[in-house]
Amino acid sequence: MKKTLLIAGLSLAISTAASATNPDVNDWDAVIEQAQNQTVYFHAWGGSQEINNYLKWADQQLQSQYNVTLKHVKVADIAETGAKLLAEKAANNHSGGSVDMVWINGENFKSMKNNQLLFGPFAPSLPNWQHVNLDLPVDSDFSEPTLGLEAPWGVGQLVFIHDQQTLNNPPQTYTELLSYAKAFPGKISYPKPPEFHGSSFLKAVLIELTNNDPQLQQPVDEQTFDAFTAPLWSYLDELHPNSWRAGKQFPSGTAQTLQLLDDGELDLAISFNPNAVFSAQENGTLAESTASYAMQSGALSNIHFMAIPWNAQSKAGALVAINFLLSPEAQSRKGDLSIWGDPSVLKQSVLTGSAAKTKLHKSVPEPHPSWQTALEQAWLKRYNQ
């Protein structure tokens, strides 16, 4: 009898653990109940004080509204988190993982998806999905179908920032940018790949130099890669000697380009947020005379997403956190030009304040995610010092 009870109890415990590990997103009341007292470890880029402050606010709201704690684990490159998850899978750690949420897109999403490292599908079942602007490409990530494995968080566009008092007519194409660098040596640079903004710069230049060849929407063909990308390397071979510090050194990221612009060392800073200039002006990082713009052909654009690892310890808490971050309240604050200014993925009709007034640039789609890795590796082979 005791043995029967023990087996029954063990079966119930296993069933309860499985239920706790994999909440039913279609039963939202149960998700909220399971999320009580959970701590969600959110692996996200930590290179922006505005974003860090926003996530502190989100944590305060989640604690007060849902009794869920959001811990921002600051990472320089989310690929590090992908490697951590792969190691956990190799060690058969299929529950109680160290990562509960990730901020991803592009190659990192494709890698996690292909290696079955993600929980879901869940995104279309979230209560706040009803507010998402489905005119945006929220079901595709760098041409890779999301299949509900990640929820959209914001819109990114590659833009350049300049001081109108020192540069009133900035370059409108990457070809003009090269000419400008030659005319004013030392005043142009870009972050060192594989830093995200630096890699984005490489892709944007290649898109222009190849007239956005349809081949860019397909996986990289290793047989033709060198010939296809030859114009990019020729371009960079001319640009680097005329760049900041003669191309012997590169900024570490967008924050440093903003600082170098403010210090007068660079004439252009780079960002993947079309509203970044307003936030920088608000916090005193940049002068009021600065402005942002996109190249004449448009801005390299993508959606950035949030996902949950397959072995997350606090899946219910992560679902509650993601749903909150998709709420009109959270998206309006995120889009506030004085707070973060990240363009929203929601319908404008549900947004308030300056978030509802954001204007996006003409969009240039991202290449297939395999191009990012291939370009980064080729760049490092040629220029890493």
What CATH number does residue 239 fall under?
Answer: 3.40.190.10
Q: Which two tokens stand for residue 231?
A: 């114009």
Angstrom distance (rounded) from CA 300 to CA 215: 16
Summarised one tens digit per residue, pLDDT across range 339-374 is 898 999 999 999 999 898 888 888 888 999 899 999
If asked whether residues 241 and 378 sit together in one domain, one would say yes
3-class DSSP string for 200-249: HHHHHHHHHHCCCCHHHHCCCCCCCHHHHHHHHHHHHHHHHHHCHHHHCC
Domain encompassing residue 93: 27-153+304-355
pLDDT of 94 > 60? The answer is: yes
- Name the residue with higher pLDDT: 174 or 369: 174
If asked whether residues 297 and 329 sit together in one domain, one would say no
Strand pairing partners for 326? none
Cα three-residue angle 293-295-298, rounded to 5 degrees: 100
Per-residue pLDDT, 14 = 33
Average pLDDT, the chain: 91
pLDDT of 268 > 90? The answer is: yes
Per-residue pLDDT, 17 = 38
Domain count, the chain: 2
Summarised one tens digit per residue, pLDDT across range 272-305 is 988 888 878 887 889 999 999 999 999 999 899 9
Map tokens 């612009």 to a residue. Answer: 261
If asked whether residues 78 and 141 sit together in one domain, one would say yes
Per-residue pLDDT, 105 = 86
Per-residue pLDDT, 21 = 57
Strand pairing partners for 75? 45
pLDDT of 143 > 90? The answer is: no
If asked whether residues 135 and 177 sit together in one domain, one would say no
Cα three-residue angle 329-333-338, rounded to 5 degrees: 160
If asked whether residues 149 and 170 sit together in one domain, one would say no
Per-residue pLDDT, 12 = 33
